[in-house]
Amino acid sequence: MPPSDFANADIDKIVDALTTDEAILLSAGVGFWHTHAIERLQIPAVKVSDGPNGIRGNHFFMGTPAKCLPSSTAMGATFDRDLLEEVGLKLLAREAKLRSASVILAPTCNIQRNPLGGRSFESFSEDPFLSGMLCSAYINGIQKGGIGATIKHFVGNDKEDDRTGYDSIHYRTTSSGDLSPSVHAGSRNMPLHGAIMTAYNRVNGIHVCENPELLQKILRDEWKSDVMIMSDWFGTYSVDVGLNAGLDLEMPGLNKWRSLESVNRSIQSRKVTAKKVKERARKVLELVKKCAQGAPEILDGDGLERTLDSDEDNALMRKFAAESIVLLKNDKKVLPLDRKSLKKVAIVGGNAKAAVLSGGGSAALKPSYFVARPAGLVKALKEVNPNIEVTYSEGARAAKTLPTLDFDLFTESGQRGWTGSWHAHENDDSLVALPTPIKTQYVDETRMFISSSSPAGITKKWTLRMKGYLKPRERDCKFEFGLTAAGRAKLFVDGKLVIDNWTRQRRGVEFFGCGSEEETGVVELKAGVKHEIYVDFCNVRGPADGDETETIMDSNPGIRLGGAEVEDPDELLNSAVSIAKDADAVIIVVGLNGDWETEGNDRTTLALPGRTDELVQKVVAANPRAVVVTQAGSAITMPWVDQVSSLLHTWYLGNATGDAIADVIFGNHNPSGKLSLTFPKRLEDVPAHGYFHSEKGKVTYAEGLYVGYKHYQHRNIEPLFAFGHGLSYTSFNISDLRLSQPIVSGDQFDLKATVKLTNTGNITGSQVVQLYIGLPKTSELTHPRWQLRGFKKMRDVKPGESREVELVMDRLSVSYWDKEWVVENGAYDVRVAFTSEEGVGEGQELLGRFNVEKGFGWRGL
């Protein structure tokens, strides 16, 4: 029988037939990415894969090249449900099939309480309504493609430091604030085909994976959800407590809590019943059945991972990336740049050449192709004027760790990359590597998160020796190397020890918190000379001050070799200023990367790295028409903002980065992105400032509902750029707000708002009409001044064209949480605009009001 026959399985019968041991096996994964198969009952395994900006496949190390989509904050900035659904169906579901995965570990829908959160880039927005709506569109697309989605992380994982330990202390927020992206997503989507992933943290004292209030009372009883609940990776912390609370699947299947021995012991000691374990197994079986129905070809396939890009996919990737770019300023209308009139263009900045395409952690993947920024810009310029001169200067270093050497090292035979030899040790406990390798392997990356990808049959402790060559092209130089290890490592250049990250180490944050600090060493390299680069790595961590234990990195070993020519920082900055002076257009590209913004740890500042701010100030002073392109998955501060007249924010854009940026800069694409989160003027203005860090394990959500723009409006703090802000190369007007009579019928609510949108400029453009609700002032509770409760992206409105825009409100649009959802009697204010910023003038915002006379309370979705 083909495995996909499970699509017709009688789950009741199979559950009856399961032995207790089989039920236990089903309740935990196998390896990193699979559920358990039971041959006796013809139960196939299904594979899951990260998520959320692409489908990485099984391996972090030498992974299968895949499409890297824009970060979720960029997706949020499109404010475009149709586009997200299209991307879910045409890109994500297909990519999942190419990787043989039936379930995607995405979307991430946590909330950016503070843009410092290491994974802020991975969630859609600071606003639960926008987040939930986009989440549901994304899931709909994936599900239409027959693939399951996983809403993660349920709930409260909105910071990274201490993520498995801290306790998110909520008061009014539990349902109305933090859970409500899930509410909004769920209400438009149930029954979800896929799963929910529990967050690592505690909520109100109890870890989510052990929390019956969240898993049973809210998710199962109140929301009537029948999805399978899985733990985050290594985020199961008990045997019986999780099983009783409702956690169906422990992931991954390494170092399991739910081993046959420990669950059986819990059953014998009556901590958990065999019936309960079968209940958990049933949910896993239901998911397997849905997977067999949704995409049978995956279960019947060969399980291999493939890469396939088509022109059509590339065009959608490029459009998607361009749609998310936000034009923050264009005071002097310098943008779009007119390519025909340019003779000399300077490209400046630490992010201009760097291969930055996604945030770090489980969202990162190996891209199937990458259009770098200069490549995209130069291609677009030369299309119009082949003789144009383009100059470049890095200007200021922006990297947290030295850049990887993926494109600098080469092998003995001249191929890009280096060669690794895997050595077993004398025995599992020995630190002595055997001389003959058990495998040699070509490797094309120098950040190698090996995770569980060591060769089969290797001893528990093992050694990997990497060898390659480096040849400076242009000049003799001093070259600085950086070596980080989750394990221990040494770097030798031409046979000489340059870095010892082995004998004593400093614990760092790389590789999900398992890596060392980066150790560095400088070597003189000769132009045209082939220098031998050799790294000796062992998967056992060395002793460090305060931690003398030599732990085996069994699931997280990794090595990172980086490097760059040593530059004099003043000379570097001056060279940028001098080419800017000399050019008739300057494009400054600055920002962060996946080392600064990553799973595993939070940022400590919103400022751009090193001397980046000074670079922008000096280059703009030298050439005031310079265009600034910022890149970050979340908010950054911009002390130079008043000096700059043209400013684009470009998130992390994935494979199509360079093309998408060029499309907007040169006007092939009229920007329509809107900020999915507020950019504050200073860190101290952020809502969760002072309440963000885990203090002895406690994180108090003291800002309550006042997250993002709600906080800035409540306290009258002017942000740098408001939520929902984003300009266009054309201009728009709205008029004629009409509100229908609200209809209350039982516990349902219906009201339509219509406005007229007119393109008053000279070129075609898209605009997002945003509807904010102000709850009745007569309420006994204090509410945010305005809350986004409706939006619509109007695409390609022609110059002079007017369109009627209809925004439908349901009960969730007018509700707040107070032990249940409440629609209160009273007067509701309505504000329709193109941004959350108030007082933007005539034709840019409309105000209205409606009354609810017969309010009601409701629960569920």
- Where does this chain bind ligand BGC (CB under 6 A)? 50-51, 105, 152, 232-233, 362, 599
Q: Which is nearer to ligand BGC, 556 or 730 (CB)?
A: 556
The distance of closest approach from Cβ of residue 826 to ligand BGC in the complex, given in angstroms and rounded to an integer, is 41
Q: Which is nearer to ligand BGC, 73 or 657 (CB)?
A: 73
Using an 8 Å Cβ cutoff, are 90 and 313 in contact? yes
Burial class (CB in 10 A: 0-12, 13-18, 19+), 364: buried
What amino acid positions are annotated as catalytic residues? 232
The distance of closest approach from Cβ of residue 93 to ligand BGC in the complex, given in angstroms and rounded to an integer, is 17
- Structure-token match 């740049």, residue found: 337
Q: Give Cα separations from 722 to 607, 678, 708, 713, 773 (angstroms).
A: 18, 5, 9, 10, 17
The distance of closest approach from Cβ of residue 64 to ligand BGC in the complex, given in angstroms and rounded to an integer, is 15
Residue 641 — φ and ψ, nearest 5°?
-60, -35
Number of Cβ within 10 Å of residue 582's Cβ equals 14
The distance of closest approach from Cβ of residue 592 to ligand BGC in the complex, given in angstroms and rounded to an integer, is 20
For residue 436, give both structure tokens: 């003959």
Using alpha carbons only, what angle is made at residue 85 by residues 82 and 88, rounded to the nearest 5 degrees?
A: 150
Q: Which is nearer to ligand BGC, 112 or 670 (CB)?
A: 112
The distance of closest approach from Cβ of residue 30 to ligand BGC in the complex, given in angstroms and rounded to an integer, is 15
3-class SS at 858? Answer: strand
Q: Which residues have a Cβ under 8 Å from the Cβ of 676 and sit 6 or more positions away?
A: 73, 74, 76, 77, 79, 124, 125, 126, 127, 130, 723
Q: Which is nearer to ligand BGC, 176 or 198 (CB)?
A: 198
Q: Which is nearer to ligand BGC, 254 or 477 (CB)?
A: 254
3-class SS at 321? Answer: helix
For residue 102, give both structure tokens: 């039936």
Using an 8 Å Cβ cutoff, are 708 and 666 in contact? no
- Structure-token match 């694409």, residue found: 669
Using an 8 Å Cβ cutoff, are 128 and 723 in contact? no
Whether cis (ω within 30° of 0) applies to the bond prior to 155 is: yes
Q: Which helix (H) or strand (E) holds 526?
A: none
Q: Which is nearer to ligand BGC, 233 or 596 (CB)?
A: 233
Using an 8 Å Cβ cutoff, are 735 and 758 in contact? yes
3-class SS at 680? Answer: coil
Q: For residues 667 and 728, what is the distance between their CA atoms, to the nearest angstrom?
A: 10
The distance of closest approach from Cβ of residue 512 to ligand BGC in the complex, given in angstroms and rounded to an integer, is 6
Nearest of 680, 405, 368 to residue 561 by alpha carbon: 405
The distance of closest approach from Cβ of residue 618 to ligand BGC in the complex, given in angstroms and rounded to an integer, is 40
Q: Give Cα separations from 314 to 20, 101, 631, 667 (angstroms).
A: 49, 22, 21, 19
Q: Which residues have a Cβ under 8 Å from the Cβ of 284 and sit 6 or more positions away?
A: 26, 27, 35, 36, 228, 248, 249
Q: Which is nearer to ligand BGC, 123 or 759 (CB)?
A: 123
Q: For residues 644 and 786, what is the distance between their CA atoms, to the nearest angstrom?
A: 30
The distance of closest approach from Cβ of residue 122 to ligand BGC in the complex, given in angstroms and rounded to an integer, is 8
First to last CA, the chain: 39
Q: For residues 605 and 636, what is the distance between their CA atoms, to the nearest angstrom?
A: 8
The distance of closest approach from Cβ of residue 106 to ligand BGC in the complex, given in angstroms and rounded to an integer, is 8
The distance of closest approach from Cβ of residue 201 to ligand BGC in the complex, given in angstroms and rounded to an integer, is 11
Q: Which is nearer to ligand BGC, 511 or 679 (CB)?
A: 511
3-class SS at 208? Answer: helix
Q: Residues 753-790, buried b or exposed e (16+ Cβ, 10 A)? A: bebebbbebeebbbbbbbbbbbbbeeeeeebbbbbbbb
Q: Which is nearer to ligand BGC, 233 or 511 (CB)?
A: 233
Q: For residues 177 and 157, what is the distance between their CA atoms, to the nearest angstrom?
A: 13
- Structure-token match 């369109």, residue found: 803
Whether cis (ω within 30° of 0) applies to the bond prior to 336 is: yes
The distance of closest approach from Cβ of residue 72 to ligand BGC in the complex, given in angstroms and rounded to an integer, is 12
Q: For residues 618 and 614, what is the distance between their CA atoms, to the nearest angstrom?
A: 6
The distance of closest approach from Cβ of residue 119 to ligand BGC in the complex, given in angstroms and rounded to an integer, is 8
Q: Which is nearer to ligand BGC, 198 or 446 (CB)?
A: 198
The distance of closest approach from Cβ of residue 553 to ligand BGC in the complex, given in angstroms and rounded to an integer, is 15
Q: For residues 361 and 357, what is the distance between their CA atoms, to the nearest angstrom?
A: 13
Residue 278 — φ and ψ, nearest 5°?
-65, -35
- Structure-token match 């859609």, residue found: 124
Q: For residues 152 and 599, what is the distance between their CA atoms, to the nearest angstrom?
A: 14
* AA letter at 503: T
Q: Which is nearer to ligand BGC, 19 or 255 (CB)?
A: 255
